[in-house]
Amino acid sequence: MRMRLHSNQDRPRGSKRRIFLRAVGLFAPFRWHFAALLVLIGATATLNLAPALLIARIVTEVTPAPGGTIREQSLQQAPEVVVDAESLTAEEAVAADAGSGGGAGS
């Protein structure tokens, strides 16, 4: 039994362009499947970027700026609370004192 690797009789006839257009024509009934496949590939590629973008955002938020440590930056960004002691009731004054670490136990 002899095997033929390549013979001229097995090759399609015609120009490469004509052969390509004929092959594309064979897939015409499946053009909507092909379009859906392209949309799904695009959606998958976009969703695969989400973890990298989230990690980049976290690193940007957590990494200290050149001007100090994370704690110094968080203290600078914390809102300042100003309370007028005369306008507080007795319960509010005790709660505010306890929350700030002051009071009889300090």
Reduced 3-state DSSP string for 27-85: CHHHHHHHHHHHHHHHHHHHHHHHHHHHHHHHHHHHCCCCCCCHHHHHHHHCCCCCCCH
pLDDT of residue 90: 65
Give pLDDT tens digits for 37-93. Answer: 999 999 999 999 999 999 988 988 888 767 666 555 555 665 665 556 566 666 666
The pTM score is 0.41
pLDDT of residue 37: 96
Tokens of 74: 């968080």
Residue type, 101: G
Alpha-carbon distance of 46 to 40, in angstroms, equals: 10
pLDDT of residue 10: 76
Q: How far, in Å, are 43, 53, 84, 87 from residue 96 at the CA level?
A: 52, 41, 11, 12
Each domain of the chain, given as residue ranges in start order, spans 16-99
